[in-house]
C-alpha cells in the first residue's frame, strides 16, 4: 500500500510558521511529507529542513518524495527527543518547528497497522513505530480490569469504560483478542443501542484510548513542547496541530505558561516561581479548518492549530 496522507490546513500552517528563505525548520511528524513539501517550497537554496518521524514507512515515503533534495535531513525518531536529534546534527537553534499530533491517513487505512475499527480482520497493533513497544493486543489481553477502565475513561473519555473493561476481561478468559473485529464485538455489546445511534461507532473512543496508551502520546508531551520552544531562535515559531481535547489542553496550557511571567498559584502572596515569559501567541484562539476543508476531508473536523512565537 502506497503511503499517502492528506495534510491538514497547509496554508494556515505555513502562515503560522512564517517560513524564512534561509531558515532552519523541523517537521517533527513528517508523515507523507505534505507539510514538509510546503516548507521546502518556501525555502531558498540556503534553507534547511529536518524531517523527523518514528514511523519508518512514513520516513521512507518522505525520502522517496524528496529524493534529490540536498537540504533535507531525515531522522527516524520520536519528536519528544528533539533536543537529542538537534544535538546529534550539531544544530543549536532553529527558526521554526511544527508537529501534527494526529494519526496519518495511511496508518488508519492500512489494515496491517491495526488502527481502524472498520477493519475487522486486522491485527490489534496500533504502534506508530512497529519496531518497539507493546501492541493494542498486549494491552487488552494482559492489563488488569482497573487499568483498562482508567485508560478507557481517561484517554477515550468513554462513559461506558467500566462495562467495556469488564467485558474485555471476561472475553479474554475464553478467547484472547487477536483482531480489531474481536474488540469491536465487545464494545458493540457493551454500549446501549440508543446511545450508539446518537454518537456513532461503538469502538471509536476505545480505539482512541488504546492508541494513546500504546504510543504513550500524552506522556512527556508538555516537556517536548517546552524543549521545542527552548530550541527556537528569537522570533522563531512553533506550530502544533491537535486532534482531541486531551492533547489540545496540554498544548494550550503550555503555550499559556510560555507567555506568562508568573505561574504561581493565585493564592500565593508573592511570586516565588521566578518564571518569565518566553513567547507570545501568534493567534489568541486556535485556528480550525475551513468549512470547505472539513467537507472535503472529514478527518480534519476535530483539528486545531495553535502557534507560539519565541520572544
Answer whether 30's CB lies under 8 Å from 62's CB: yes
Report the distance separating Cα 276 and Cα 86, nearest Å: 25
Check residue 198 and give its pLDDT: 87
Which DSSP category does 120 fall into? T
Domain-embedded: residue 67: yes
Q: What is the mean pLDDT of residues 35-39?
A: 97
Mean pLDDT of the chain: 95
Residue 5 has pLDDT above 70, yes or no: no
Terminal-to-terminal C-alpha distance of the chain? 44
The helix/strand count (H/E) of the chain reads as 14, 7
- Which of 98-112, 148-162, 194-208 has maximum average pLDDT? 148-162
Residue 201 has pLDDT above 80, yes or no: yes
CATH number at residue 46: 3.40.50.150
**Band of residue 2 on the pLDDT scale cut at 50, 70, 90:** low
Q: How many domains does the chain have?
A: 2
**Band of residue 235 on the pLDDT scale cut at 50, 70, 90:** very high
Domain-embedded: residue 289: yes
Residue 169 has pLDDT above 90, yes or no: yes
Report the distance separating Cα 256 and Cα 250, nearest Å: 10
Domain-embedded: residue 239: yes
CATH number at residue 206: 1.10.150.170
In this structure, are 28 and 158 located in the same domain? no
In this structure, are 93 and 153 located in the same domain? no
pLDDT digits (tens, 9 = 90+) for 89-115: 999 999 999 999 998 888 888 999 999
Amino acid at each position: 500500500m502506497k503511503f499517502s496522507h492528506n495534510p491538514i490546513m497547509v496554508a494556515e500552517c505555513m502562515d503560522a510558521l512564517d517560513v524564512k528563505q534561509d531558515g532552519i525548520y523541523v517537521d517533527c511528524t513528517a508523515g507523507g511529507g505534505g507539510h514538509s513539501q510546503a516548507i521546502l517550497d518556501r525555502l531558498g537554496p540556503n534553507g534547511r529542513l529536518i524531517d523527523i518521524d518514528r514511523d519508518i514507512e512514513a520516513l521512507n515515503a518522505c525520502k522517496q518524495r524528496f529524493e534529490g533534495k540536498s537540504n533535507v535531513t531525515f531522522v527516524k525518531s520520536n519528536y519528544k527527543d528533539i533536543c537529542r536529534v538537534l544535538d546529534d546534527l550539531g544544530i543549536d537553534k532553529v527558526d521554526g518547528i511544527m508537529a501534527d499530533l494526529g494519526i496519518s491517513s495511511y496508518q488508519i487505512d492500512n489494515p496491517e497497522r491495526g488502527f481502524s475499527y472498520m477493519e475487522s480482520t486486522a491485527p490489534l497493533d496500533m504502534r506508530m513505530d512497529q519496531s518497539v513497544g507493546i501492541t493494542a493486543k498486549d494491552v487488552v489481553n494482559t492489563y488488569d480490569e482497573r487499568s483498562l477502565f482508567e485508560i478507557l475513561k481517561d484517554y477515550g473519555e468513554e462513559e461506558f469504560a467500566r462495562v467495556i473493561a469488564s467485558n474485555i476481561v471476561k472475553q479474554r478468559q475464553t478467547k484472547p483478542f487477536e483482531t480489531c473485529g474481536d474488540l469491536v464485538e465487545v464494545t458493540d455489546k457493551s454500549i446501549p443501542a440508543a446511545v450508539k445511534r446518537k454518537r456513532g461507532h461503538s469502538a471509536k473512543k476505545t480505539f482512541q484510548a488504546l492508541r494513546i496508551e500504546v504510543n504513550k502520546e500524552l506522556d512527556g508531551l508538555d516537556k517536548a513542547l517546552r524543549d521545542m520552544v527552548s530550541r527556537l531562535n528569537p522570533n522563531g515559531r512553533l506550530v502544533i496541530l491537535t486532534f482531541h481535547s486531551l492533547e489540545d489542553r496540554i498544548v494550550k496550557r503550555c503555550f499559556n505558561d510560555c507567555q506568562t511571567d508568573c505561574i504561581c498559584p493565585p493564592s500565593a502572596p508573592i511570586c516565588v516561581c521566578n518564571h518569565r515569559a518566553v513567547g507570545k501567541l501568534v493567534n489568541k484562539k486556535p485556528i480550525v479548518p475551513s468549512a470547505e476543508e472539513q467537507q472535503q476531508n472529514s478527518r480534519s473536523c476535530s483539528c486545531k492549530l495553535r502557534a507560539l512565537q519565541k520572544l
